[in-house]
Amino acid sequence: MMRETSGVLKRPDGQSLAWRKVEGQGPTIIWLGGFNSDMTGTKAEVLAQWADANSHGYVRFDYFGHGASSGDFAAGTISRWREDALAVIDEMTEGPLVLVGSSMGGWLSCLAALSRPDRIVGMILIAPAADFTERLMKPTLSAEALRQIEDEGAWMRPSDYGPAYPITRDLLEDGARWAILPGPVGIEAPVRILQGGADPDVPWRHALDLAQAIESEDLVFTLIRDGDHRLSRPQDLERLVSAVEELCSPARMAASPSR
């Protein structure tokens, strides 16, 4: 049985973030999931199993309005979800961290690293959707959808993976305020980017733009030519675990500056 505990982190406004945690050695790994996803996805589960088997610290959580956390998804914004990530970092962890961000979580990982640079010793970004509200989402919306968002405040977007979900005016306007592209992005920690070449949601050139904008001298961009957006096939999960093992290795930690 996996030695993973769970609970909720209370927020000042009375909302709560659901979390799961594996206690262990550092650096602590923090999972930051994607837009309209939750912490029980395949990649997050695989990392929990790896952390448990290796007695390694690991935290995963659901943003406001996602998964088991409280709140109305339609009221969520990049500002709010960034605050959630920082609350988890500040209140649930100590010492060095490795952030693992998928899709929107890749953008939020960058925003968190820019806010807490002294805590971050590594980042793994999976199909990172930096600035996705302005660069990836808005350009794909029809004129009718844009009109409805402007006039009514929201439009229900159909999904291939579940029920339709709202795209709100607040989400788009707030997202533009947190744009980090074209850069430069002042992240100096080691970064590993895993990107599918057949990703229909985050084109590989978009992820490459982020890679070129990040200032870290220790950055590796891995293009998986036939990989999709989720990168959850066995071979993709092996690459993810290998990247985690590399950035969390005792030798690397011993050689890195103390934080």
242 noted as active-site residue? no
CB 215, CB 186: distance < 8 Å: yes
229 noted as active-site residue? yes
201 noted as active-site residue? no
Distance (Å, rounded) from C-alpha 194 to C-alpha 211? 11
Q: Which residues, 6 or more positions from 17, have their beta carbon under 8 angstroms from its beta carbon?
A: 8, 9, 11, 61, 62, 63, 64, 69, 84, 87, 88
Residue 198 CB neighbours (<10 A): 11
Cα dihedral sign, 65-71-77-80 = negative
DSSP labels, 209-233: HHHHHB--SSEEEEEETT--SS--S
Q: Which residues, 6 or more positions from 92, have their beta carbon under 8 angstroms from its beta carbon?
A: 9, 19, 21, 59
Catalytic residue among 37, 69, 102, 103: 103
In 3-state terms, what secondary structure has residue 31? strand
CA-based diameter of the chain, in Å?
56
Residue 83 CB neighbours (<10 A): 16
Catalytic residue among 174, 199, 201, 236: 199
- Active-site positions read 103, 199, 229
